[in-house]
Amino acid sequence: MLRPVFRKSFFAVLYGIFISNSWAIELRTVAQSSTEPKFIEVQGKITGLCIDLHRAIEKADSTLKIVGDQVMMPLKRAEKMLEMAESDIACGLLHHTTRDEKFYFSEVVVLSIADILVVRQDDPVQIKTWDDVAKLGGDGIVLGNAGRGPVEVLKKNKQLMIDDGAVTTEQNLNKLTMKRARFFFHRSPGISTEIKNAKMQDKVRVLPNAMAIHRTYMVIGKHLPKEAVTRIQNALKKIHASGELDAINDRWKDY
């Protein structure tokens, strides 16, 4: 038989465990393919900026546990899963009207992405705005990876000549060096490693002026309880205030 004092302590511990577990919040997510450096798959293991951010969130609030970020899905599928309440969060998405209606967005910016142009190494062209590109006419063809949201936006500008026939960055870099176009439109961070992987450091260069800067956020499903949303927001604010979010971004800025 348990002694009274011991029995009280024993049940107090059990009660504490019960309370602790009752407050635990499991957040489902997936990694997003072709979004490096947010998610990078190497030999079956997924790393990247968003993986680091997930672990930082768990550290900032021990009641939050993020699962599923070792499963890679296309971005459109990841977004659909969030809409259908099959996942709970998605890392590093842009604001736009449709998403704003469906999801909550973090108050903290998690990653800023620059739209950049790549040209051949020996091309002396200097570009500051899309008007500069449009003025080149047929000598200003811009390559873009098929299916990318920013490329679809560019295609709506009828003054620009966009070729999005290729799917991968390596394919477009090859087209660029073969003089099939003047520019390749991509993002930073991300482009430096793509160029290295294609072994084209001596063949192409990134123009110094960003064409646009986009802020991305942690996107949160509206099906989550208010308590969970608040905890996610507070964890991100804590990471930002401590400087850890900046450190994570610095770690991946040259990717």
Residue 152 lies in a domain: yes
Provide the CATH number for the domain around residue 202.
Answer: 3.40.190.10
Assess whether 37 and 104 both reside in one domain: yes
**Is the same domain home to 155 and 175?**
yes
DSSP per residue, 103-125: EEEEEEEEEEEEEEEEEETT---
- Residues of the domain holding 79: 26-112+215-252
> 219 with 207, same domain?
no
Q: How many structural domains does the chain have? A: 2
Is 60 within the bounds of a domain? yes
The answer to whether position 34 is within a domain reads yes
Residue at 21 is within a domain: no
Same domain, 108 and 222: yes
pLDDT in tens, 176-196: 999 999 999 999 999 999 999
Between the two ends of the chain, the Cα-to-Cα distance in Å is 63
Judge whether residue 50 has pLDDT over 80: yes
The reply to whether 83 falls in a domain is yes
Is residue 17, in this structure, part of any structural domain at all?
no
Q: Taking the model in full, what pTM does it have?
A: 0.81
Q: Is the pLDDT of residue 37 over 90?
A: yes
137 in the same domain as 73: no
Average pLDDT over residues 54-78: 97
Residues 123 and 101 in one domain: no
Note whether 105 and 95 are within 8 A (CB): yes
Q: Residue 163 has which token pair?
A: 């070729």
User: Does 54 share its domain with 100?
Assistant: yes
Q: What is the pLDDT of residues 74-113, one digit of tens each?
A: 898 999 999 999 999 999 999 988 899 999 999 999 999 9
CA distance 32 to 72: 6
**pLDDT at residue 108, rounded to an integer:** 98
Are residues 225 and 160 part of one domain? Answer: no
pLDDT tens by residue, 199-208: 999 999 999 9
Q: Are residues 223 and 97 in the same domain?
A: yes
The two beta strands, 204-206 and 142-143, are unpaired
The answer to whether residue 18 sits within a structural domain is no
Per-residue pLDDT averaged across 156-176, rounded? Answer: 95
Q: Is residue 32 located within the same domain as residue 88?
A: yes
> Both 47 and 161 in a single domain?
no
Question: Does residue 19 fall inside a structural domain?
Answer: no
| Domain co-membership, 108 together with 130 | no
Q: What residues are paired with 188 via a beta bridge?
A: 114
Nearest-angstrom CA–CA distance, 183 and 51:
32
